[in-house]
Amino acid sequence: MQRVNFSAVSEFVLVGLSDTPEIRFLLFVLFLLIYLATMAGNIMLLIAISTDSHLHNPMYFFLGNLSLLDIFCPTITVPKMLGALLLEHRVISFAGCLFQQFFLIDVVGTEIFLLAVMAYDRYVAVCHPLRYLNIVSTKLCAQLAVGTWAAGVLNSLLHTSLIFTLSFCGPNKVQQYYCDIPPVLALSCSSTHSRELVILVVAGVLGSGACVGTVVSYIYILLAILARNSPGIWHKAFSTCGSHLTVVCLFYGTTICTYVRPSFSYSPHRDRVVSMLYGMLTPLLNPIIYSLRNKEVKCALRRVISRVRSAL
């Protein structure tokens, strides 16, 4: 059996966002503030959910998982990007590139599945309120959470193994500020057609399936609320579901646009902008849209802050 030539390249060079020192410093400050705000919002939400008994229910259990993913997602890419902006250190080892891509695809894939699970949870809560706790039981919550994380890992193993068993023997300049599938795939000196096809099919089926399931769940939610004939509830529901769907569509749209497309349509400049939307913007918006607008979460955060003050 022929041995696979993993790589003749020992390291990759990541393309920076700018070569102008003044612009690099401004971008560093901007992205550092966004990253810190993202960390603060999601960590506060996790603390509130884990310490407040009023939030120990299925909806907040899934929100806690989402916050954990929103902490991991920017942490995988942003520190390296900040280092490149401030210190111009853009080199990443072959193994470092592999692990960065693996963990990023894992987190993004898990979040795709988790958003579909969260939409189903809200569908059951709105359309079957009397049977909600029986349907979405503690056991089912645990199974769904484990299933989403396991699916993310398996999906990432598939994609990462397809990419890093290729041969890399030529240029090593990755046209992105982190290691992602399209720019790394473009550097391979072996045939990539069959692997591109597998990536397109798997990402298309999983991503589109989760997206359709999420949108259908929200459609049923809206129809159930409209049937109650209460304008006050309508306004609140449209406001909440509209904001949820905005973030969901932004995340699904940008990730599908990145991974479900042929290689000849790859555009480095466009991909850098698109990747920032799902890699930095949605983790910042999720705690605001899903939780910090929620009265129960606000009360829980106040209780956490008061306990911290008392302890100090």
Q: Evaluate whether residue 235 is within a structural domain.
A: yes
The radius of gyration of the chain's CA atoms, rounded to the nearest angstrom, is 21
Kindly tell me the sign of the dihedral angle through the C-alpha atoms of 115, 59, 119, 134.
positive
Answer yes or no: is pLDDT of 2 > 60.
Answer: no
Task: Decide which of 66 and 271 is more confident.
Answer: 66
Q: What is the DSSP string of 54-73?
A: GG-SHHHHHHHHHHHHHHHH
Query: Which CATH number characterizes residue 31's domain?
Result: 1.20.1070.10
Q: Is 2 within the bounds of a domain?
A: no
Kindly report which listed range (28-37, 124-133, 226-235, 244-253) carries the lowest average pLDDT score: 226-235
On whether the CB atoms of residues 124 and 135 are closer than 8 A, the answer is yes
Nearest to 148, CA basis, from 80, 214, 198, 100? 214
For residues 273-298, give the mean pLDDT: 80
Specify if 194 maps to a domain.
yes
Residues 6+ away with beta carbon under 8 Å from 64: 45, 46, 49, 50
In a domain, 16, yes or no: yes
Distances (CA, A) of 202 to 116, 159, 172, 276: 17, 9, 27, 23
Question: What is the total count of domains within the chain?
Answer: 1
Beta bridge mates, 13? 91, 173
Which pLDDT tens digit goes with each residue over 252-261? 888 877 777 7
Q: Kindly state whether residue 6 falls inside one of the protein's structural domains.
A: no
H-assigned helices in the chain? 21-51, 58-87, 94-127, 132-135, 138-164, 181-185, 193-226, 231-259, 268-276, 282-286, 295-311
Strand order across the beta sheet in which 11-14 lies: 91-93, 11-14, 173-174
Please say if the pLDDT value at position 298 is more than 70: yes
* Average pLDDT score over residue span 176-188: 86
CB contact set of 309 (below 8 Å; sequence gap of 6+) = none
pLDDT, tens digit (0-9, with 9 covering 90-100), for 107-119: 999 999 999 999 9
Q: Is residue 70 part of a domain?
A: yes
Q: In terms of pLDDT, which residue wins out, 64 or 230? A: 64
Tell me if 188 is assigned to some domain. Answer: yes
Q: What is the 3-state secondary structure (H, E, C) of 30-51?
A: HHHHHHHHHHHHHHHHHHHHHH
The answer to whether the beta carbons of residues 44 and 119 sit under 8 Å apart is no
pLDDT at position 231 is 63
Range of the domain at 224: 11-311
Q: What is the pLDDT of residues 13-29, one digit of tens each?
A: 888 777 777 788 898 99
Within a domain: residue 144?
yes
At residue 240, the pLDDT reads 64
Q: What is the DSSP letter of 4?
A: P
